[in-house]
Amino acid sequence: MNNKNGLFITVTTLLILCSAVLPAEAALPENFDISKNYYSVYGGPDLNATLVGDNQFSRGDTATLNINMMNKGEISGFKSEKDADIGNYADEMLQQSEMQYEAQATTAVGILATLKSDNPDIKVKSEPQEAGTLKQGKESSNPTKFTIEINKDTPAGIYPLTLDLSYQYQNNVQVGGDDFDSVTGLVTNKEVGIWYENKTQTQTINIEVKKEPYFEVTNVTGDLYPDEGGMLYVTYKNTGEETAKDATVRVSASDPFSTTDDQAYLGTLKSGDSEVAVFDMDVDETATPKPYSLSSEIFYEDSDGHDQTSDTIKINTEVLEGKNSLPGFELVTGITMALAAFFVMFRRKKQH
């Protein structure tokens, strides 16, 4: 590239793809002449990730985790590999230039963040996310986002997630050139070779599934017939860890069901307690005999005195075959009608 001083600089970037920092004796990139290397630097990037916001979630949640990153890297020291020739101005300028380049060894380039869960109850739905480049002492301008799903049956507790941060960093720099311009004090044919390596840092991000009431239907009884309906008895159990106070359940009746009695009071349910709710259900006369599912939800007060509403709780029930279509019904009806007719005729004869 030609600048206003007529300076020509060639920058060669040498990328070494490896999964971790290689030892000092590792093979050098092609065209990297170690004999022209003035310094070796010790240190590099050090990424620190933190979860922004609350880390507490409810079982059954789909949540977005916002992860912020900061580069706390530092250079711990330099090692002189080659001294500049005294009086050789080009050599002295190259040595100073390399020192400036070496100071960039703490920059994490092209960060790729991958979040993983080893627990089947916690699923990471997001693919690896690009998080840009971070210089020393800098913080990410925007959080890196990951979506997780928490199984509705997940026990309360702390769950560690693994965050892998992969990036490239500057492992070494080599400068070269021999044309020194005494007027500008610059090496006009300076070449810069930058040797990058890959590195992965692993960190744990903890999330917590909160202790709270959780409700399940453990039993459903009741005979429901078309055009008649009946009483539906539903047993609710608090399988969570906390007490639900003043709990009331409401059922949502949908076709072919209807009711004017859609709520039932359950009272206070401690962890492990069960209570039966009774609903008077009407069934449409055209209802098809088969299994059906009704939705319900429970309103309660939590241990902090806050009003809460449960997730939707399914009630699996069934509409039975109509009584008028039961086997033998026509025969019984016919016999009953025949007996009634005989009784009427018998009374008429007796009156005569």
CATH topology of domain 34-209: Immunoglobulin-like (2.60.40)
Report the pLDDT value the prediction gives residue 192, as an integer from 0 to 100. Answer: 66
Place of tokens 């960190």: 203
Place of tokens 């055009």: 227
Report the pLDDT value the prediction gives residue 38, as an integer from 0 to 100. Answer: 54
Report the pLDDT value the prediction gives residue 39, as an integer from 0 to 100. Answer: 53
Q: Is 35 exposed, middle or buried (0-12, 13-18, 19+ CB in 10 A)?
A: exposed
**DSSP output for 144-179:** EEEEEEE-TTPPSEEEEEEEEEEEEEEEEEEEE---
CATH class of 215-319: mainly beta
Report the pLDDT value the prediction gives residue 11, as an integer from 0 to 100. Answer: 41
Residues 41, 15: Cα–Cα separation, whole Å: 17
Residues 146, 60: Cα–Cα separation, whole Å: 17
- In tens, the pLDDT along 84-124 reads 545 554 555 555 555 666 667 889 999 999 999 999 999 99
Identical fold at 34-209 and 215-319? yes
Report the pLDDT value the prediction gives residue 171, as an integer from 0 to 100. Answer: 79
Report the pLDDT value the prediction gives residue 231, as an integer from 0 to 100. Answer: 95
**DSSP output for 239-299:** -SSS-EEEEEEEEE--TTEE-S--EEEEEEE-TT-EEEEEEEEEE-TT--SSEEEEEEEEE
Taking the domains of the chain in order of start, what are their residue ranges?
34-209, 215-319
Q: Which residues of the chain have pLDDT under 50?
A: 1-29, 31-32, 34-35, 85, 89, 326, 328-330, 332, 341, 344, 348
Tell me the whole-structure pTM to 2 decimals: 0.70
Report the pLDDT value the prediction gives residue 246, as an integer from 0 to 100. Answer: 97
